[in-house]
Chains A and B, each alone.
Chain A
């Protein structure tokens, strides 16, 4: 049995190496064509510096950069990791200096408007960069939702490099134990709430519940409103109207906040203080039947033996339940942009272009586990079998997000607006304000901030 596992693992590694090798060979002509000019030369390499989230900077440096260097040996890439909470401020500080240190900025989903407003990023579809872009680089192959994360005011400032969507994970064993049918992407919130009491269970027979229906973000922090917003969007609501004014302080908004709050009735004790880590911990321990969180944790939740005892067979994943108009999700994409002041434009764009090309994205997906944004990558056979249902769900989530515009506010002041939402949604969830009052306050403050 063990021998078989080893054999399978070795075989998989061989296939991976083969795929990576052939992909590198495929991009070789591009590398050869660009070997002159700003792409360095043997003995005279050019160095590109990237500012990124410390959560993945190190793995990219050690895994992706060597792959890139097989195609571009004379471009040295240095990725500096910065803690997430300081990343935007440091990025803006660097971008506004007369001679920025960084050539490429890896930004979170809502940051492009801020960075674009201060002139920090190049328009990647400008004539200057188009002239450097490989003919085979297919912009239309990107899914609309992730690509839109890098766009602002009609210009494409960044490209998706690490996509993520808010999804609902479910524990099959707990559903079976409760005698409740497993959810499907068609399940509605009404059906979910009808099943929820049955999913609060006493699994060890001691007379006390030890397993609950759901856990997710309830704590006072900027990502908690994304849960409420997913419900709002699935009920046909929106954060802003066409004129850019807040449009959520209404019946749909209040109903959606009531629904978010109602989830607490079926969540573990203390869930009001739960966020990303606590809900993930509860789900991995098999004490909650559902978890709404970012899709990228699937590997650590159902695949990695070092971090979970659950298996791929135990864990299902899908978009959030259907509201009055559609299913729900929320976009969370990491995007790469090129500094407008870089003196190494050729090399910087070469890296971003390679990383987001069909080939680079496949390598990023298979070797690092980043979720792809291209339709072709999602439709292709993934390197690992467990990725197949994930890719299907991801494609569904992109479509749902694109239709319902399920993302955070696109504005240079989006962070301030998100913090206001975090404060008010937290008050609503804690019962310190009625949903109507919390949303009315949030709408008033956001209107003022965005003005």
Chain B
């Protein structure tokens, strides 16, 4: 009888090593295209922006010139317009985000009941989402125009006097929030509807048996169960809202005065109208850092809420 010879120890380790290398190669070969695309499309522009923000912009080469340290950042921090734009952006975010999340979940809860038109209504809700932001801004500019718009006409029929939507600073901000809310609330309604449908039915049945009314069911059962979803939706919407630009450009041009001059519009104007690319890059980096910090805080808060509920 022939005795099988066990493979030498070195052969086994060599084969295992070969397998490991092959496995690694395979994984990286799948990852490489994405890494390459991300590097070219995302990392390079970010590093380029950071480079420009620390240099004088050489218009003759259209690139970073002399290294000037923090001078662009000092210039930006000393510009009252930058702070005003941040303040305007903050006002918009503080009002628009809670409004949209509350409205979105509220509407979802209301239309969650079984009725014949539910599917059609859900489909209609998608329409504002597919309208391009610039088109939405332009369209609402026509609707709200004090001279030609239909909104003031309708308000007149109801006995309400005309409003100067784009001439009054507060109304102009309200107009931006209305347009943005019109466009984005349906997105939250869709998420909230899916979340509501996924909630365990037995909990609601138990609440019903215990005699909970509509309000108690909403406040003590549905909302606690939905808190993690609400938090996650808030973070998703936040990431979209900080990019706000096109609607303002199409509806108010940042006016009247500086009333709706949000930070992204200000950065765009400084870069492409004033050709102050270095200062704009510094602003963009500051906004990027602020956004990352706030997003981190929101994500942490969202995780805490998930643990709590």
Q: How far is the CB of A423 from chain B (nearest CB, A)?
A: 6
Q: How far is the CB of B68 from chain A (nearest CB, A)?
A: 15
Q: Which of B12-20, B159-167, B187-195 lies at the interface with chain A?
A: B159-167
A88-B275 in contact (CB<8A): yes
20 examples of A-B residue contacts, CB within 8 angstroms: A219-B256, A220-B257, A220-B258, A269-B146, A270-B164, A270-B167, A272-B256, A273-B166, A273-B172, A275-B253, A281-B148, A287-B147, A413-B275, A416-B274, A420-B274, A426-B257, A429-B257, A430-B258, A431-B257, A449-B276
Q: Which 9 pairs of residues, A with B, have the shortest CB-CB distance?
A: A430-B257, A273-B166, A270-B146, A220-B255, A416-B274, A272-B167, A432-B257, A269-B146, A430-B256
Chain B residues in 8 Å Cβ range of A22: none
Q: Closest residue of chain B to A428, judged by CB?
A: B257
The answer to whether A415 and B274 touch (CB under 8 A), given A220-B254, A273-B255, is yes
CB-contact partner of B59 in A96, A418, A427, A431, under 8 A: A96
Q: Does A117 contact B (CB under 8 A)?
A: yes
**Chain A contact patch, size range:** 35 or more
Chain A residues in 8 Å Cβ range of B61: 96
B62-A93 in contact (CB<8A): yes
Within 8 A of B (CB), among A399-451: 412-413, 415-416, 418-420, 423, 426-427, 429-433, 441, 445, 449
Within 8 A of A (CB), among B51-94: 59-62, 79-81
Q: Does B272 contact A (CB under 8 A)?
A: yes
A432-B147 in contact (CB<8A): no
Docked CA distance A426–B169 (Å): 12
Q: Does B273 contact A (CB under 8 A)?
A: yes
Q: Closest residue of chain B to A119, judged by CB?
A: B60
A415-B273 in contact (CB<8A): yes
The answer to whether A221 and B253 touch (CB under 8 A), given A118-B60, A419-B269, A419-B273, is yes
A416-B276 in contact (CB<8A): yes
Chain B residues in 8 Å Cβ range of A220: 253-258, 261
Q: Closest residue of chain A to B268, judged by CB?
A: A85
Please report A residues at the B interface, Cβ cutoff 8 Å.
85-86, 88-89, 92-93, 96, 114, 117-119, 219-222, 268-273, 275, 281-282, 287, 412-413, 415-416, 418-420, 423, 426-427, 429-433, 441, 445, 449
Chain A residues in 8 Å Cβ range of B59: 92, 96, 114, 117-118, 412
Chain B residues in 8 Å Cβ range of A431: 257
Chain A residues in 8 Å Cβ range of B275: 88-89, 92, 114, 413, 415-416
Report which residue of B253, B254, B256, B269 has the largest number of chain A beta carbons within 10 angstroms of its beta carbon.
B256
Chain B residues in 8 Å Cβ range of A445: 79
Q: Does B264 contact A (CB under 8 A)?
A: no
Docked CA distance A391–B253 (Å): 34
Chain A residues in 8 Å Cβ range of B147: 268-270, 282, 287
Docked CA distance A426–B79 (Å): 17
Q: Closest residue of chain A to B271, judged by CB?
A: A89
A96-B167 in contact (CB<8A): no
Chain A residues in 8 Å Cβ range of B276: 416, 449
Q: Does B246 contact A (CB under 8 A)?
A: no
Q: Does B100 contact A (CB under 8 A)?
A: no
Q: 1/0 per residue B234-276: CB within 8 Å of A?
A: 0000000000000000001111111101000000011011111
Q: Does B145 contact A (CB under 8 A)?
A: yes
Chain A residues in 8 Å Cβ range of B272: 85-86, 89
